[in-house]
Amino acid sequence: MKNQFLYIIVLFAFVSCQEDVEFNNPSFQDQKDNVFWRAINIKATLAANASLSIEGYTRKEKLT
C-alpha cells in the first residue's frame, strides 16, 4: 500500500510540471514619462577610457 502511494505521488510530481518560458529579447526596458518603454535594438560600446555606453533604440526614439 505504501509503495502504491509513493508511485502516485511521484507520478503527480512529474505530470504537474510544466515550462512557461518567456524570452525578453532585447531586454533593455525602462519607464519613461510613466509609460513602459522597450528597446527594439540595443548597442553597448566600451571606450578606450573604460567607460561603457549603452544605447537603446525604438523606431522614433533613442535612449542613452
How much is the pLDDT for 16? 61
**Phi, psi at 33, each rounded to 5°:** 55, 40
Residue 62: give the domain boundaries.
29-64
What confidence score (pLDDT) does residue 49 get? 93
Residue 60 lies in a domain: yes
Measured CA to CA, the distance from residue 47 to residue 44 in angstroms comes to: 10
Residue 21 resides in a domain: no
pTM of the model: 0.51
What's the total number of domains in the chain?
A: 1
Residue 37 lies in a domain: yes
**Pairwise pLDDT comparison (16 vs 4), residue with the higher score:** 4
Quick one: pLDDT at residue 52? 94
| 9-64 per-position pLDDT tens digit | 877 777 666 677 777 665 788 888 888 888 888 899 999 998 999 998 888 888 88
- 15: in domain: no
Q: Is residue 48, in this structure, part of any structural domain at all?
A: yes
